[in-house]
Amino acid sequence: MKETNPLISVIITTYNRENYLEEAILSVVNQTYTSIEILVVDDGSSVNYAESICEKYANCSYNHKTNGGLSSARNFGITLAKGAYIAFLDDDDFWESSKIEQQIAILISDSTIDCVHSSAAIVDCNGKMTGSFIGASIDKAYKRSGYVFWNALGCWVVKSPTPLIRKKVFQPDLLFDETIKVGEDVDFYQRMFYRHKVSYIDKPLAFYREYENTERLSLQTVKYIGIENKMYFNFKKMGIKNKLILHLIAIKLLKSAKENWNLVHIDKPIKINWLTLHTRPVYGLKNYFNQ
């Protein structure tokens, strides 16, 4: 029997950023799908600005925790979630009004799909469309659906404000890594792809805000260096035993690590020789890029 109006838990994390929070909340409140609980997780902000905003909306709760970073805030929200489906929204992004309605229809109709994601439109600091989009090109959109693990590894992940995910996906060995302070979504979604099939909606259902602020994690590109080494060991922690699969994962991660390094350090690029790449990729990850 198919579900009827299942509850969806929307986790909005916030930390010392008041400006856009209510706009994010309103984009959830105004969804065409209404069986939603909104969990605002305040990750130890120095000023309590979020509680009074949450009190304006009946289906929105304020939840405070000691500062621990974005991964810990999301994991905390997951523990509070009562819904069978979970969506994440950063406090400076917002949604198109039919996002959840379109995504839940796919998840209800196809039990083999555990995550539905989409492209996102880029907006400026005032929420105005820039004309740019994040997502697959038209000729590659089909590669974003199904079992995407091997074509995604080291290449792309879902954009943070877009996915709707079954709660059962979140297991003790498949949560956000709280030791990763920048790029935690890269690690999580690549590992999720290993276990779960996804579906891609080739239109922007979320709005991703880009603006100049050095505190934005997405702009701290240097801190992404070395994340691939942690990702490799997180794959191992998931219980992958097949040595060939682990070897192939390490090769793709080493390629990605080299490309990321060279994008940041154009004055001192790293070269990985063929022998290291194909016979000792784990050595390369540990010794060249270990954080």
DSSP string, 235-249: HHHTT---HHHHHHH
- Copy the structure tokens of residue 206: 């979320």
From the list 96, 74, 71, the residue with the least C-alpha distance to 87 is: 74
Instruction: Look up residue 99 and give its DSSP letter.
Output: H
Q: Are 115 and 38 in contact (CB under 8 A)?
A: no
What pLDDT, on a 0 to 100 scale, did the predictor assign at position 156?
94
Quote the pLDDT of residue 75. 98
On whether residue 55 sits in a domain, the answer given is yes
pLDDT at 34 (0 to 100)? 97
Please report the pLDDT score of residue 204 as a whole number. 98
| 196 lies in the same domain as 240 | no
The first and second tokens of residue 152, run together, are 């995604």
Can you give the CATH number for the domain in which 77 is found?
Answer: 3.90.550.10
What percent of the chain has a predicted confidence (pLDDT) above 70? 96
Which domain range does residue 209 map to? 8-214
State how far the Cα of 19 lies from the Cα of 228, in Å rounded to an integer: 33
Average pLDDT, the chain: 94
C-alpha gyration radius of the chain: 19
Q: What's the rounded mean pLDDT across residues 3-17?
A: 95
Q: Tens digit of pLDDT for each residue in 82-126?
A: 999 999 999 999 999 999 999 999 999 999 999 999 999 999 999
More confident residue, 149 or 218: 149
Q: Does the pLDDT value for residue 218 go beyond 50?
A: no
Q: How many domains does the chain have?
A: 2
Contacts with 50 (C-beta within 8 Å, 6 or more apart), sequence order: 14, 18, 21, 40, 42, 62
Q: 265 φ, ψ to 5°?
A: -110, 70
pTM for the full predicted model: 0.93
Distance CA 125, CA 170 (A): 32
pLDDT for res 181: 86
Question: pLDDT, tens digit, for every residue of 123-180?
Answer: 999 999 999 999 999 999 999 999 999 999 999 999 999 999 999 999 999 999 999 9
Q: Helix, strand or coil for residue 185?
A: helix
- CA 285/CA 6 separation, integer angstroms: 43
The pLDDT, as a whole number, for residue 217 is: 45
Q: Distance (Å, rounded) from C-alpha 114 to C-alpha 233?
A: 24
Lowest mean pLDDT among 139-148, 214-223, 241-250: 214-223
150 with 192, same domain?
A: yes
Q: Which of 182, 214, 246 is the last residue of a domain?
A: 214
Domain boundary among 195, 214, 233: 214
Residue 3 domain-assigned (yes or no)? no
**Is the residue at 2 inside a domain?**
no
Does the pLDDT at position 68 exceed 90? Answer: yes
